[in-house]
């Protein structure tokens, strides 16, 4: 069967805020250029591929939106049908102990959200996608980019060395392959999208972005990319109980002082509210389980009162890139650029990345436009993107928070002191180094002694308000055809059964928020072995990031599969 190829001018990978904003801005730039110039860009072919079954199905965020980038992209959004859940009218920061809640007298500087819109990121993305399509952008949901297409270029990047390799598009994953790698009746080779410029905006731990970064050494001299896992539920509350836009941020319980993270509660439209926890994937404790911590959080008297009568209706999990300014890789190579969370455009102090991702997409679009006009998509031309980031409000916002992650590497109290001092005296010139997440996990015995992971018998799962993991996975709507190769590849499962079991107690059985990894008894061998229930996967990539041996690799499954978040 012939592999189809489709030539496009600019290909965006990922239907998130970064690429949607980039595609809209590019269309606007082309339209303006065509009005003014005789040398028109005729029938521009601008495409977005998205691995979810539709735009927004894999989208999960807070989300309180800083509308800075949206104001620039679509200045009249307030007069349009932009989907705002509520505007923030009341906000509070609360320190939780096991039984008490201590409200801070004011919001810490930089964390104020008063007046900002609370959005469902999925609804916002669908709104942006409709605008992009109305301007002529082709959107292909259900298409997962599986590898970069490369060619040799004439350029040696001025170094006189070997010729550079140029990205010339993306190959999408094949469909209809069975678990043994054989072609099924519905086999369809993945399409090649051949692009003059490829823009990678796959979100945290982007699969193609990593290929680009690794192949071209774009992270040389940069801080490692580090992450938090965000787990989130939407609750339906009793009719009439949600009256205004409220944001609550909490610190402390149920996290220990060595584990970085916090929680949020936002009210949404109708009678809905969302509650979520963010937990650093550099947590020392191998037994950390963000889903369990979220249930503990909801069981706290403070949230029991706030969410009284609530029923969980949706669940999801996604990672957030929190390395900040120092972790941003070189943003371009020949033929390609990286935007959004995939390139670390998130302010870790505010846990806000939508506006920064959108702006990065727009600046990459400006460089792509220059490339189209000049007929040259070499790295030398695409460097315009990095130059524009350096001179934009992205830098003004992100650079002062550059040492936020490093401040908390050794615990909460020291971190708060360092951040406080930074706010008073400035962040300093130096970027303080920090470690990759997987290097930070401590061995089981050093955290829990010889008795193994602590028991978790303190919660009663009622199936409505407190949910066990598998019930929540069901509410993520995630689905994968089980007759396909696993998209979670463990390089050596013998390590799971031996070294990892002894040293770390198989932490993936805890840290995966979708219970993909299970150690089960094998009666034939008489020992425990790893079973990977990849059909449960919600594409958060925690396993790929946190596994202490770095032997788990997440690759995109067949396009159109995975979670169906819809309203998260
Ligand atoms: C729990 C949580 C709370 C947050 N709260 C806030 C908040 O309140 N405010 C805020 O501003 N930010 C918040 N953020 C961060 C914000 O969601 C991100 O910064 C933003 O979504 C990044 O946009 P993006 O377009 O770069 O990536 P994403 O939104 O991750 O979009 C990437 C898209 O690419 C698709 N994709 C990935 N790989 C492929 C592939 N190979 N082929 C095809 N498609 C692919 C994905 O399915 C996805 O749809 C939060 C994040 C989390 C997880």
Q: What distance in angstroms lies between residue 110's CA and the mean position of ligand 1's atoms?
A: 22
Q: What own/partner pairs with CB < 8 Å and gap ≥ 24 does 77-83 have?
A: 81/127, 82/117, 82/124, 82/127, 83/119, 83/120, 83/123, 83/124, 83/127
> Which ligand 1 atom is nearest residue 63's CA?
8
- Nearest CA owner, ligand 1 atom 50: 61
Q: Are the C-beta atoms of residues 362 and 25 closer than 8 Å to each other?
A: yes
Average pLDDT over every residue of 38-42: 94
Q: Are the C-beta atoms of residues 500 and 494 closer than 8 Å to each other?
A: no
Cβ neighbours of residue 536 under 8 Å, at least 6 residues apart? 470, 473, 478, 514, 515, 516
Cβ neighbours of residue 309 under 8 Å, at least 6 residues apart? 237, 238, 241
pLDDT at 167: 97
Question: Whole-angstrom Cα distance, residue 261 to residue 290?
Answer: 10
The pTM for the full model equals 0.96
Cis before 254? omega within 30:
yes
Q: Residue 424 — very low, low, confident or very high, per pLDDT cuts 50/70/90?
A: confident
Classify strands 117-119 and 272-280 as parallel, antiparallel or unpaired. Answer: unpaired
pLDDT at 54: 97
- The encoded tokens of residue 288 equal 């950390």
Spell out which residues line ligand 1, taking CB within 6 angstroms: 13-19, 49-52, 58-65, 121, 144-145, 201-203, 206-208, 230, 232, 276, 278, 318, 320, 340-342, 346, 351-355, 357, 556
Residue percentage of the chain with pLDDT more than 70: 98
Confidence check: pLDDT of 343 > 90: yes
3-class SS shares of the chain: helix, strand, coil, % to 5: 30, 25, 45
In the DSSP assignment, the letter for residue 143 is -
Q: How confident is the prediction for the chain on average, in pLDDT?
A: 95
Confidence check: pLDDT of 203 > 80: yes
Give the Cβ contact number of residue 508 at 10 Å.
24
- Choose which residue among 202, 277, 314, 349 to substitute to test ligand 1 binding: the one with the highest number of ligand atoms within 8 A of its C-beta: 202
- Nearest CA owner, ligand 1 atom 2: 61
Q: What distance in angstroms lies between residue 207's CA and the mean position of ligand 1's atoms?
A: 14
- Terminal alpha carbon distance of the chain: 39
Q: What distance in angstroms lies between residue 258's CA and the mean position of ligand 1's atoms?
A: 27
- Choose which residue among 13, 53, 57, 61 to substitute to test ligand 1 binding: the one with the highest number of ligand atoms within 8 A of its C-beta: 61
- Nearest CA owner, ligand 1 atom 52: 61
3-state secondary structure 507-558: CHHHHCCCCCEEEEEECCCCEEEEEECHHHCCCCCHHHHHCCCCCEEECCCC
Segment (H or E) for 192: strand 192-200
Segment (H or E) for 47: strand 46-50
Q: Residue 461 — very low, low, confident or very high, per pLDDT cuts 50/70/90?
A: very high
Confidence check: pLDDT of 36 > 90: yes
Tokens 């500087």 sit on residue? 109
Q: Residue 159 — very low, low, confident or very high, per pLDDT cuts 50/70/90?
A: low
Question: Whole-angstrom Cα distance, residue 124 to residue 268?
Answer: 13
- Nearest CA owner, ligand 1 atom 14: 61
> Which ligand 1 atom is nearest residue 17's CA?
25
Confidence check: pLDDT of 33 > 90: yes
Question: Whole-angstrom Cα distance, residue 166 to residue 173?
Answer: 21
pLDDT at 415: 81
- Nearest CA owner, ligand 1 atom 26: 340
Smallest CA-to-CA distance from 539 within 490, 491, 480 is with 480
Q: Residue 194 — very low, low, confident or very high, per pLDDT cuts 50/70/90?
A: very high
Classify strands 245-252 and 261-267 as parallel, antiparallel or unpaired. Answer: antiparallel
Q: Residue 157 — very low, low, confident or very high, per pLDDT cuts 50/70/90?
A: low
> 383-394: string of b/e by CB count within 10 Å (b at 16+)?
ebbbebbeebeb
- Nearest CA owner, ligand 1 atom 41: 145
- In this structure, the dihedral spanned by the alpha carbons of residues 67, 70, 74 and 78, taken in order and rounded to 10 degrees, is -20
Smallest CA-to-CA distance from 545 within 282, 219, 325, 261 is with 282
Average pLDDT over every residue of 526-544: 97
Q: Residue 2 — very low, low, confident or very high, per pLDDT cuts 50/70/90?
A: confident
Radius of gyration for the alpha carbons in the chain, expressed in angstroms and rounded = 23
Q: What distance in angstroms lies between residue 162's CA and the mean position of ligand 1's atoms?
A: 36
Q: What distance in angstroms lies between residue 58's CA and the mean position of ligand 1's atoms?
A: 8
pLDDT tens-digit series, residues 379-410:
999 999 999 999 999 999 999 999 999 988 87
Question: Whole-angstrom Cα distance, residue 275 to residue 170?
Answer: 37
Q: What distance in angstroms lies between residue 16's CA and the mean position of ligand 1's atoms?
A: 6
Lowest mean pLDDT among 107-116, 394-403, 456-465: 107-116
Q: What distance in angstroms lies between residue 18's CA and the mean position of ligand 1's atoms?
A: 8
Tokens 């939407």 sit on residue? 234
Q: Are the C-beta atoms of residues 291 and 455 closer than 8 Å to each other?
A: no
- Choose which residue among 22, 52, 60, 62 to substitute to test ligand 1 binding: the one with the highest number of ligand atoms within 8 A of its C-beta: 62
- The encoded tokens of residue 47 equal 């495409």
Q: What distance in angstroms lies between residue 339's CA and the mean position of ligand 1's atoms?
A: 11
Tokens 């003004």 sit on residue? 396
Smallest CA-to-CA distance from 479 within 179, 50, 52, 180 is with 52
Smallest CA-to-CA distance from 472 within 480, 461, 482 is with 461
Q: What distance in angstroms lies between residue 1's CA and the mean position of ligand 1's atoms?
A: 35
Smallest CA-to-CA distance from 142 within 205, 199, 61, 58 is with 58
Question: Whole-angstrom Cα distance, residue 232 to residue 320?
Answer: 13
From residue 54, give the alpha-carbon distance in Å to each of 144, 233, 364, 560.
12, 21, 24, 7
Q: Are the C-beta atoms of residues 97 and 82 closer than 8 Å to each other?
A: no
Q: What distance in angstroms lies between residue 168's CA and the mean position of ligand 1's atoms?
A: 25
> Which ligand 1 atom is nearest residue 319's CA?
53
Question: Whole-angstrom Cα distance, residue 217 to residue 215?
Answer: 6
Q: What counts of helices (H) and strands (E) characterise the chain? A: 17, 22
Q: Residue 153 — very low, low, confident or very high, per pLDDT cuts 50/70/90?
A: confident
- Choose which residue among 353, 359, 477, 541 to substitute to test ligand 1 binding: the one with the highest number of ligand atoms within 8 A of its C-beta: 353
Lowest mean pLDDT among 37-46, 159-168, 353-362, 508-517: 159-168
Rounded to the nearest 5°, which phi and psi values hold at 528? Answer: -85, 140
Segment (H or E) for 6: strand 5-13
In the DSSP assignment, the letter for residue 498 is I
């Amino acid at each position: 069967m012939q592999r189809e190829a489709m030539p496009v001018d600019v290909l965006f990978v990922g239907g998130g805020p970064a690429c949607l904003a980039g595609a809209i801005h590019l269309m606007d730039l082309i339209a303006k250029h065509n009005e003014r110039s005789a040398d028109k860009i005729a029938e521009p072919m601008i495409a977005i591929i998205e691995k979810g079954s539709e735009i927004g199905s894999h989208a999960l965020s807070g989300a309180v939106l800083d509308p800075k980038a949206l104001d620039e992209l679509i200045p009249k959004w307030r007069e349009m049908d932009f989907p705002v859940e509520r505007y923030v009218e009341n906000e509070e920061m609360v320190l939780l102990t096991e039984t008490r809640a201590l409200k801070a007298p004011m919001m810490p500087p930089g964390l104020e959200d008063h007046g900002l819109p609370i959005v469902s990121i999925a609804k916002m993305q669908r709104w942006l996608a409709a605008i992009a399509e109305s301007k002529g952008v082709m959107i292909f949901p259900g298409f997962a980019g599986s590898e970069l297409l490369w060619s040799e270029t004439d350029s040696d990047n001025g170094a006189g060395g070997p010729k550079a390799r140029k990205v010339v598009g993306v190959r999408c994953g094949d469909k209809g392959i069975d678990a043994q790698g054989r072609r099924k009746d519905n086999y369809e080779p993945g399409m090649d999208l051949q692009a003059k410029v490829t823009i990678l905006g796959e979100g945290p731990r982007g699969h193609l972005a990593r290929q680009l970064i690794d192949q071209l050494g774009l992270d040389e001299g940069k801080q490692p990319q580090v992450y938090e896992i965000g787990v989130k539920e939407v609750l339906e509350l009793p009719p009439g109980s949600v009256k205004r836009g409220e944001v609550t941020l909490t610190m402390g319980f149920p996290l220990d002082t060595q584990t970085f993270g916090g929680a949020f509660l936002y009210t949404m439209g109708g009678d809905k509210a969302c509650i979520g926890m963010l937990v650093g994937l550099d947590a020392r404790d191998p037994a950390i389980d963000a889903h369990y911590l979220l249930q503990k959080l909801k069981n706290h008297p403070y949230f029991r009162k706030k969410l009284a009568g609530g029923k969980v209706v949706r669940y999801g999990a996604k990672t957030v890139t929190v390395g900040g300014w120092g972790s941003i890789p070189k943003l371009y190579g020949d033929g390609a650029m990286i935007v959004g969370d995939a390139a670390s455009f998130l302010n870790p102090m505010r846990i806000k990345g939508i506006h920064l991702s959108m702006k990065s997409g727009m600046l990459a679009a400006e460089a792509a436009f220059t490339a189209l006009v000049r007929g040259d998509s070499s790295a030398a031309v695409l460097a315009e993107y990095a130059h524009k980031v350096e001179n934009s409000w992205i830098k003004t916002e992100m650079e002062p928070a550059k040492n936020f992650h490093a401040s908390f590497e050794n615990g909460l109290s020291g971190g708060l002191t360092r951040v406080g001092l930074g706010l008073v005296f400035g962040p300093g010139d130096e970027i303080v180094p920090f470690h990759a997440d997987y290097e930070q996990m401590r061995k089981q015995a050093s955290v829990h002694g010889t008795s193994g992971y602590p028991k978790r018998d303190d919660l009663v799962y009622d199936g409505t308000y407190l949910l066990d993991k598998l019930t929540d996975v069901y509410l993520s709507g995630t689905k994968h055809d089980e007759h396909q190769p696993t998209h979670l590849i463990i390089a050596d499962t013998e390590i799971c059964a031996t070294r990892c079991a002894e040293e770390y107690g198989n932490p993936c059985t805890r840290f995966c928020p979708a219970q993909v990894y299970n150690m089960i008894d094998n009666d034939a061998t008489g020992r425990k072995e790893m079973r990977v229930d990849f059909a449960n996967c919600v594409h958060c990539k925690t396993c790929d990031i946190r596994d202490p041996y770095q032997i788990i690799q997440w690759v995109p499954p067949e396009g159109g599969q995975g979670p169906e978040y819809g309203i998260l």
